[in-house]
Amino acid sequence: MNILVVGGAGYIGSFISRELIEKGYHVTVFDNLSLGHRAAVGRDISFVEGDLADRSALDALFRSRDFDGVMHFAAFSAVGESMVDPLAYYGNNVANTINLLRAMKEGRVNRFIFSSSAAVFGNPREVPITEDHPRDPINPYGEGKSIVERVMRDADMAYNLRYVSLRYFNAAGASPEGDMGEDHRNETHLIPLALKAILGEDAGGGTLRIFGDDYDTPDGTCIRDYIHVLDLADAHVLALEHLLKGGDSDIFNLGNGKGFSVAEVVKTAEKVAGKPVPAIKADRRAGDPPILVAGSDKIMEKLGWNPVFPQLEAIVETAWKWHASHPKGYAP
Ligand code: UFG
């Protein structure tokens, strides 16, 4: 089976590519390397450098190979940045996704796994958040993901596109061996920033800013549901198998069902690393909901998903192993 992984040189896409190879699939990665790393793409993977904005490159890609399915990870993913530059987010995360769907339609490929997000829900009305919770995004990042869910639904009705939309909560962690992990040029995520703050300048770390301590949560800091990137990878393979078996389009939330505050994450980082995280209190970050916790029963029941790293400490331990051994990420 041939699977196209768009954005497979990035954090989540590279893990899923490796998981697919381990499961016996042939993987082609299409990535423009604007944010991803060539070194994150394994040697057993065909690599095509290209951009989703380039429709002729996409058409050539679909003419060159028969793909059994497509997974799409080539998106911008910083909520704060999406508030500052919404057009960049709608352009890349919505318009370029439509280019990909159009090329799939022309190439007669109709199985699609989409990286959606908890950000489609905005400020939740209740937690844990189940799939039927209303979508009401409060930032352009989440709005873009929500629009694509609508586009996929319509494309299914019109052209039989079969899709699975996986709404990740907070992806985190690295390979237990410490050879693959998170390496964003402009890191914005809490766990890598806390660990880099411990490692200091050598790892590009500085003082961690805690964005808001006056939220309506027990300790005043935001609560999130962290999910290990390998558990995400498993969910993608299960979603692909579901479509390959002829399953219908579906949407699943993906988290561990347990929320941790920013202060608790900082404490866990300190415990794992055995060193304090240099941190200061800062203003709230625009676009941040106070609490996001997943209800993931649906994917467990329907696809048999069962996380291997449900504990925050285990997630942070793998991330620490990666950052401590790769202070400059994938750079040599
Ligand atoms: N935070 C800080 N200081 C930092 C960075 C983050 O206090 O330097 C806080 C944030 O305010 C937030 C929490 O840590 O309360 C987690 O922030 P992240 O940036 O790590 O991740 P987000 O919660 O913003 O993640 C959201 C959605 C995901 C989505 C992701 C995209 O929950 O579904 O954005 O990056 F995929």
List the chain domain ranges.
Answer: 2-172+226-253, 190-224+257-325
Catalytic-residue membership of 141: yes
Residues (pLDDT < 70) of the chain are none
Answer for the pair 174, 229: CB distance below 8 angstroms, yes or no: yes
What does residue 78 show for φ and ψ, rounded to 5 degrees?
Answer: -110, 115
Query: Hey, is 240 helix, strand or coil?
Result: helix
121/146 Cα distance (integer angstroms): 9
Residue written as token pair 């002729």: 56
Q: Which CATH class is domain 2-172+226-253?
A: alpha beta
The C-alpha atoms of residue 312 and residue 332 are separated, in whole angstroms, by 29
Q: What angle do CA 237, 238, 241 make, to 5 degrees?
A: 85
Contact partners, residue 68, CB within 8 Å, separation at least 6: 1, 2, 3, 109, 111, 244
Please report the pLDDT score of residue 278 as a whole number. Answer: 98
Tell me the three state secondary structure of residue 210. Answer: strand
Residue in the block written with tokens 């299960």 = 238
Which residue has its alpha carbon closest to ligand 1 atom 31?
Answer: 77
Ligand 1 pocket test target in 187, 188, 190 with most atoms within 8 Å of CB: 190
Which atom belonging to ligand 1 lies closest to the Cα atom of 117? 33
Q: Note the pTM of the prediction, 2 decimals.
A: 0.97
89, 141, 163, 226: the active-site residue:
141
pLDDT computed for residue 29 by the predictor: 98
Residues counted in the chain: 332
> What kind of fold does domain 190-224+257-325 have according to CATH?
UDP-galactose 4-epimerase; domain 1 (3.90.25)
User: Which residue has the CA at smallest separation from atom 15 of ligand 1?
Assistant: 222
What are the distances in angstroms from CA 2 to CA 45, 111, 118, 252, 305?
Answer: 11, 12, 29, 24, 23
- Report pLDDT for 305: 98
Rounded to whole angstroms, the Cα distance separating 13 from 7 reads 6
The pLDDT of residue 286: 87
Q: How far is the CA of 272 from the centre of ligand 1 (A)?
A: 20
Q: What is the structure's pLDDT at 332? A: 84
- pLDDT score recorded for residue 287: 84
What pLDDT was estimated at residue 185? 87
For residue 153 the two structure tokens come to 């639904």
Helices in 245-294 by DSSP H: which ranges? 262-273
Q: How far is CA 203 from CA 36, 183, 269, 308, 317, in A?
A: 18, 11, 15, 28, 17
Instruction: Name which residue sits closest to atom 36 of ligand 1, judged by CA.
Output: 117
* Cis peptide upstream of residue 276 (ω within 30 degrees of 0): no
Residue 124 to residues 100, 217, 304, Cα–Cα distance (Å): 31, 13, 26
